[in-house]
Amino acid sequence: MKVENQKAWFFVLPVLVLVAFNALVPMMTVVNYSVQETFGNNQFFWQGLDWFEQILRSERFHAALGRQFLFTFLILIIQVPLGIVIALSMPRSGFWVPVCLVLMALPMLIPWNVVGAMWNIFALPKIGLLGYFLNDVVGINYDFTQDPLAAWFTIIAMDVWHWTSLVVLLAYAGLVSIPDAYYQAARIDGASSWAVFRHIQLPKMKNVLTIAILLRFMDSFNVYTEPFTLTGGGPGNSTTLLSIDLVKIALGQFDLGPAGAMSLIYFAITLLVSWLFYTLMTRNDT
Amino acid sequence: MARITLDKLRHSYLREPTGPADYALKGLDVEWRDGGAYALLGPSGCGKSTLLNIISGLLTPSEGRILFDDQDVTGLPPDQRNIAQVFQFPVIYDTMSVRQNLAFPLKNRGVDQARIDRAVGEIAGMLGVEDLLDRRAAGLAPDDKQKISMGRGLVRDDVNVIMFDEPLTVIDPHLKFSLRSKLKELHQRIETTMIYVTHDQTEALTFADEVVVMQDGEVVQIGTPVELFERPGHTFVGHFIGSPGMNVLPAERAGTGVSFHGQPVQLDGAIRDGASGRLEIGVRPEFVTLADHGIDATVTKVSDVGRHKVVEARVGETRINAMTEGAVPPTGSAVQLAFRADRTRLYADGWLASGEGVR
């Protein structure tokens, strides 16, 4: 006979407590702000869904969201193919493997605000190496503090430098797990190197690449520290991404209600896109 | 289709090999007839996979040549040798359907679509996978996957040789038999030279017309399954093939013959001139009988293996297996063993040294 009791709940309890304090409770305070208005003094007035409506209709939000999607799209379309190409050209065995791996991991080990500060100095016209090189050696008029296009170029370059390694390492892990027999069979079958990539390497990398894209999507969609340290959202609002705008509203203007509503919308978009992407990529696996 | 000749083939994985121990293959001279079914049999690490990779062109030998008919192919890459290889673990292209998998080698060689369709249909029929043609290859069972990887080798009509590298390793035991007989049947139909690498004697003996037995990078014997069984050229072949393997007993010279434990043993023929070194008598358990005269022994174990029983007896420190179908004596009892003379051989330093036509 099966004895039923509820003791198993005790095993789940620590996790429940942990999740409650690091996710649920903070999240519920945001929900709390998003439906109320406050003028300080700890006084709150019920506002219903007004803030949500206001944010969703706001042109400022649309512009920031557009910039956010553009940023994520650009870095994905550069980092994923670039990461695959670098992973393919890395050696599979021998002395250089650990050297390559360590070199690849280095950018990811640098604290995010340091990356922003580094690139800020690096790209400053007249002073920084990149700024000096582009202005005085190549002769392009480049100033990311004045020119929106230059600012975009710089934040994209910075993110590519910082995060392509993640795609490289994951893709490389996928590549080295392919048994030699596949390459040997392909050689015997007379497959071209494109066919080897298309029919062996890419399918075997599919799972790790799904994870890589998912991680890169979430991180770049929520990115704050690096672009903020580099450009502060400027010039003007040209590099004000969603997260930077959110901090401006919440801490700059101290509009806690709209900021709360915006956070929830932001979270919902990230969750929805991640879920859609993951579901689409894995639907054929079972 | 081609005759394959290995000419003084040596291979070392080291850049500067110094002694024989550095060589994975220590000098092979073998000729394989066009259209034959061969097996390469040997324990793990004996160099059979190295040899296979050299024939397919995935490895270039350190020394020696490989000839397909009279063409030297030693320096050619795999795709120019017109060979096919089936690997231990089934290799299939996950993204393609079964049909596309089978068509892949032809497509890469620019064969026209009508011929591809015909060849794929024919091979699918032979392998019995017609129903699977439009399925995605990724979802198949291991034995079907292995059939598909065989099919990719068979689909080309210009292959010189098809090589199998322990292809049944991942197949369930009850499917091994059917896949093995399918392979045999395919060989009879398409008559391509086939080389089958395995460490499983049953697979080698049932598949091949001729078996090449290897040990430590050397060929110890080439022969038909019957020859390997009845007249092992080396004690290694004797105990590697057969279950249980051949009894190998320490022997001494006694006049013109030999003796074991002080009792003269009759051999199948004259001893080779100058046979010296470590002398051993080899006799298979099938040819040892419990008799009323012969060598005194004590029964130590009896195992029933179904059709017959294996009696293990001890003479001094030496163990001898005998196979019998009749009544068996109880453990501990004294018996007398007789060897069938025409199946009892002498080995000197491991090599056959009695009977007709020995080296």
ipTM above 0.90, yes or no: no
A281 in contact with B at a CB cutoff of 8 Å?
no
Give the Cβ contact number of residue B318 at 10 Å: 15
Q: Please state, in angstroms and rounded to a whole number, the distance separating the CA atoms of residues B338 and B322.
A: 10
Q: How far apart are CA B255 and CA B190, in angstroms?
A: 55
Contact B149 A184 (CB under 8 A): no
Residue identified by tokens 């095993």 is A11
**∠ at Cα B262 (B259, B264), nearest 5°?**
35
List, for residues A142-163, the tens digit of each pLDDT value.
Answer: 888 888 888 899 999 999 999 9
> To which residue do tokens 């008598």 refer?
B281
Give the residue from B94, B101, B145 with the most A CB atoms within 10 Å of its CB, the best one to mutate: B94
pLDDT band at A285 (very low <50, low <70, confident <90, very high): low
Residue type, A197: F
Cross-strand partners of A50: none
pLDDT at position A18 is 92
- Residue A272's pLDDT is 93
Backbone angles phi, psi at B155, to 5 degrees: -70, -25
* pLDDT given at position A163: 92
For all residues of chain A together, what is the average pLDDT?
87
| Bigger pLDDT: B92 vs A46 | B92
Residue A247 binned pLDDT confidence (cut-offs 50, 70, 90): confident
Q: How confident is the model at residue A78 (pLDDT cuts 50, 70, 90)?
A: very high
Query: What pLDDT, on a 0 to 100 scale, did the predictor assign at position B293?
Result: 81
Q: If pLDDT is split at 50, 70 and 90, which confidence band does A38 have?
A: confident
What is residue B1's predicted lDDT score, i.e. its pLDDT? 62
CA atoms within 13 A on the CB side of B240: 26
| B292 CB-near residues (< 8 Å, 6+ apart) | B336
What's residue B42's pLDDT?
86
User: Is residue B103 predicted with pLDDT exceeding 60?
Assistant: yes
- Among candidates A179, A185, A191 on the partner chain, residue whose Cβ is nearest the Cβ of B85: A185
pLDDT at position A160: 94
Whether cis (ω within 30° of 0) applies to the bond prior to B77 is no
Q: Chain B contact for A200, CB < 8 A?
A: yes
Nearest to A34 by CA among A270, A256, A254: A256
Cα separation values, B211 from A12, B184, B190, B351, Å: 62, 14, 20, 18
CA A66 – CA A191 distance, rounded (Å): 43
Q: Which among B288, B262, B259 has a CA at the least distance from the CA of B271?
A: B259
- Give the nearest partner residue to A190 out of B95, B96, B109, using CB atoms: B109
Helix (H, G, I), strand (E, B) or coil at B92: coil
Test B87 with A184 for CB contact under 8 angstroms.
yes
Residue written as tokens 């298309």?
Answer: A198
Mean pLDDT of chain B: 84
Backbone φ/ψ region at B30: left (φ over 0), alpha (ψ -120 to 50), beta: beta
Beta bridge partners of B247: B283
- Report the run of H or E that residue B249 belongs to, with start and end: strand B247-250
Contact assessment for residue B134 and residue B96, using Cβ atoms and an 8 Å cutoff: no
B49 has a pLDDT exceeding 90: no
N-terminal to C-terminal alpha carbon distance within chain A: 35
Helices (H), chain B: 48-56, 98-108, 113-127, 142-154, 173-190, 201-207, 225-230, 235-240
CB B140 within 8 A of CB B72: no
Give me the pLDDT at residue A1, please: 60
B108–A190 CB contact, under 8 Å: yes
The residues facing B223 across adjacent strands are B211
* Cβ contact B89–A179 (<8 Å): yes
| pLDDT computed for residue A286 by the predictor | 47
Indicate whether B135 pLDDT > 50. yes
Q: What is the pLDDT of residue B273?
A: 77
Cβ neighbours, 10 Å, residue B266: 12
Q: Please tell me the predicted confidence (pLDDT) of residue B9.
A: 82
Local confidence band at A76 (pLDDT 50, 70, 90 cut-offs): very high
Rg (CA), chain A: 24
How many residues does this entry show for chain A? 286
Percentage of chain B with pLDDT > 70? Answer: 99
B93 lies within 8 A of chain A by CB? yes
Q: What percent of chain B has pLDDT over 90?
A: 0
> Residues B133-157: what's their mean pLDDT?
84
Per-residue pLDDT at A129 exceeds 90: no
* Best CA proximity match to B43, nearest among B237, B244, B284, B248: B237
**CB contact A191 to B (< 8 Å):** yes
Write down the pLDDT at residue B357.
61
Contact across the interface for B105 and A189, Cβ inside 8 Å: yes
Beta-bridge partner residues of B38 = B195, B210
Across residues B253-273, what is the average pLDDT?
82
Of the pLDDT bands very low, low, confident and very high (cuts 50, 70, 90), residue A87 is very high
Question: Alpha-carbon distance B97 to B101, whole Å?
Answer: 6
Provide the pLDDT for residue A238.
85
Which H or E element spans position B346?
strand B345-348
Q: Which positions ≥6 away from A23 have C-beta within 8 Å?
A: none
- Judge whether B332 and B302 are in contact, CB under 8 Å: no
pLDDT at residue A85, rounded to an integer: 94
- What is the distance between the alpha carbons of residues B248 and A255, in angstroms, rounded to a whole number? 94
A94 touches chain B (CB under 8 A): no
Cβ-count burial A30-49 (b if 16+ within 10 Å, e if not): beebbbbbeeeeeeeeebee
Closest-CA distance of chain B to residue A190, Å: 5
The span from the CA of B74 to the CA of B65, in Å, is: 6
User: In this predicted model, what pLDDT tens digit does every residue of B270-303 receive, in sequence order?
Assistant: 888 777 788 888 899 888 888 888 888 888 888 8
What pLDDT, in 10s, does the model give residues B4-20? 888 888 888 887 777 77
pLDDT of B335: 86
Cβ–Cβ below 8 Å for A191 and B108: yes
Tokens of A240: 């004000």
Picking from A182, A190, A203, the nearest residue to B91 by CB comes out as A182
Residue A139: exposed, middle, or buried by beta-carbon count in 10 A (0-12, 13-18, 19+)? exposed
| pLDDT surpasses 80 at B110 | yes
